[in-house]
Amino acid sequence: MVSDEASGAAAQLMSEFATRTGLVPPAQDQQRYLWTDAFAVCNFLELFERTGEQEYRRCATDLIDQVHRVLGRYRNDDTRTGWISGFNDETGRSHPTAAGLRIGKPLKERGPDESIDERLEWDRDGQYFHYLTKWMHALCRAAIVTGNTQYALWAVELAQAAFKGFARRSRSGELVGVYWKMSIDLTRPLVPATGLHDALDGFITFQEVQDTIPNMLATSGMPDLSSRTESFFALCRQRDWTTDDPLGLGGLLFDASRLCRLSCDADGEICLLQDILRGCRNGLAALLASHHLRRSASHRLAFRELGLAIGLKASPIIADAVSKLKLGLASRTALRRDVDPLLKYESLGEQIIAFWLPAKRHKDDSWQDHQNINDVMLATALIPDMFLGMLMRPGAAGPV
């Protein structure tokens, strides 16, 4: 699909999403969901960069404000009211991310005395660490595009809250993992298991937040996230990142592309990059061997596969970034052995988009069941540059 066609299709998807979820025009029933909205912010910013139309910029900034007003507060059906942080209204508006953000699931979170129902838990509210990291990323993108330093500051506050709330520690106080799901007020784990990629997401996203700050404002007195970043990095050493889950693979490719460009000059980070790329390569081979992508639409989930399509768009970004790293011959050769095989999968992303476009157009049940997240992630797959960090600024040495 050529660029103009992609932009037009993405613009239509995002316009329908904005109307359907109560963003434009602002509706009383605003359907906010943190993961989807993080991708949506990037899409609106990308459309603004492509067209210069201020309406897309307003959609992005209005969406950020709406997410904070809705997901930074307790639910309407909760006995608790106001900002999750406990701040008064004025302070809460100034620091909407200080205690994290709700997921936006349809059901209330499980009460302290309720036994867990694994099926119902997927539809219950709470906080997810990997949703918070996506929102930090969206805030960093918005800060760079708009020049509004407040978005960068909110990303820092969210990083602090996420680390404090989700850190799983040993009796000695050492960080040993990241809780999968926490209560809305971050006082108790709802799912105590550890997310497969949460520590990696934390390490790279916290670096992104930390690196955004110097580009936006003077940093004297600003919180330093480096100790938290190092704690996450310790959890990432010598890990096998292999997964055949399409969304997980897309996330790994996204993380690899950010790691290449953010800070990848130390031996430990090079080893981590190699581990991630090896996991991507092995996971893609396993996914194709499973014949999952040959199944009918009714046995597949569009948004998970579109996550992979987005990640695959990062393959040439990774290859280009690796070629520019200051490495010795042996290290460069080893990295190329992991990067080059990924490039042959680029067309797979286009195949996934081509498979799901008709389902969207024909309003298939398989698409309608998760319409908002499907529409938004399809739009990202069509115009991925903002989400992948390929925004160019005059005088910049490379993507920001």
pLDDT (average), residues 307-335: 88
Confidence of residue 398 (pLDDT cuts 50, 70, 90): very low
Give the other-Cβ count within 10 Å of 69's Cβ. Answer: 15
Confidence of residue 395 (pLDDT cuts 50, 70, 90): very low
Whether 397 shows a pLDDT value over 50: the answer reads no
Whether 388 shows a pLDDT value over 50: the answer reads yes
Which is more confident, 130 or 362? 130
pLDDT (average), residues 319-341: 85
pLDDT (average), residues 181-210: 95
Q: How far is the C-alpha of 99 from the C-alpha of 200, rounded, in Å? A: 21
Range among 2-6, 261-265, 332-336, 376-380 rated most confident: 376-380
pLDDT (average), residues 336-341: 90
Which is more confident, 337 or 359? 337
CB 382 within 8 A of CB 9: yes
Task: Give the residue among 15, 19, 37, 50 at the shortest CA–CA distance from 139.
Answer: 37
Whether 3 shows a pLDDT value over 90: the answer reads no
pLDDT tens-digit series, residues 125-175: 999 999 999 999 999 999 999 999 999 999 999 999 999 999 999 999 899
Question: In the prediction, which pLDDT does 300 show?
Answer: 94
Tokens of 290: 């499973």
Q: How far is the C-alpha of 387 from the C-alpha of 376, rounded, in Å? A: 12
195 Cβ contact list (under 8 Å, min separation 6): 129, 130, 178, 180, 201
Question: In the prediction, which pLDDT does 344 show?
Answer: 92
pLDDT tens-digit series, residues 25-50: 988 889 999 999 999 999 999 999 99
Q: Counting Cβ atoms within 10 Å, is residue 244 exposed (0-12), middle (13-18) or buried (19+)?
A: middle
Distances 217 to 89, 180, 220, 242, 243 between C-alpha atoms, Å: 26, 33, 9, 38, 39
Specify the amino acid at residue 76: N
Residue 113: half-sphere exposure toward Cβ, Cα within 13 Å = 0
pLDDT (average), residues 269-285: 94
Whether 1 shows a pLDDT value over 60: the answer reads no
Which is more confident, 37 or 192? 37
Return the DSSP state at 395: T
Question: In the prediction, which pLDDT does 392 show?
Answer: 41
Question: In the prediction, which pLDDT does 29 show?
Answer: 87
pLDDT tens-digit series, residues 164-173: 999 999 999 8
Specify the amino acid at residue 326: K
- Containing 180, the helix (H) or strand (E) segment is strand 175-182
Q: What percent of the chain has pLDDT over 70?
A: 94
Q: Counting Cβ atoms within 10 Å, is residue 189 exposed (0-12), middle (13-18) or buried (19+)?
A: middle
- Containing 283, the helix (H) or strand (E) segment is helix 267-289
Q: What percent of the chain has pLDDT over 90?
A: 79
Confidence of residue 265 (pLDDT cuts 50, 70, 90): low
Q: How far is the C-alpha of 391 from the C-alpha of 400, rounded, in Å? A: 6
Whether 355 shows a pLDDT value over 60: the answer reads yes
Question: In the prediction, which pLDDT does 220 show?
Answer: 53
Question: In the prediction, which pLDDT does 253 show?
Answer: 97
Question: In the prediction, which pLDDT does 144 show?
Answer: 94
pLDDT (average), residues 202-221: 80
Supply angle C-alpha 169, 253, 139, rounded to 5: 70
pLDDT (average), residues 368-377: 95
Q: List beta partners, residue 146.
A: none
pLDDT tens-digit series, residues 213-260: 876 665 556 778 999 999 999 999 989 999 999 999 999 999 999 998
Q: What is the pTM of this model?
A: 0.95
Confidence of residue 393 (pLDDT cuts 50, 70, 90): very low
Q: How far is the C-alpha of 4 from the C-alpha of 129, rounded, in Å? A: 35
Lowest mean pLDDT among 104-113, 159-168, 275-284, 365-374: 365-374
Q: How far is the C-alpha of 126 from the C-alpha of 102, rounded, in Å? A: 6
Find the radius of gyration of the CA atoms of the chain: 20
Question: In the prediction, which pLDDT does 221 show?
Answer: 63
Task: Give the residue among 293, 286, 225, 210 at the shortest CA–CA distance from 252.
Answer: 286
Task: Give the residue among 384, 372, 375 at the shortest CA–CA distance from 357.
Answer: 375
Task: Give the residue among 282, 342, 334, 289 at the shortest CA–CA distance from 311.
Answer: 342
Domain ranges of the chain: 72-113+121-232, 237-369
Question: In the prediction, which pLDDT does 391 show?
Answer: 54
pLDDT tens-digit series, residues 56-67: 999 999 999 999
Alpha helices in 52-185 (DSSP H): 54-71, 89-94, 118-121, 129-146, 149-166
User: Rounded mean pLDDT of the chain?
Assistant: 91
Confidence of residue 17 (pLDDT cuts 50, 70, 90): very high
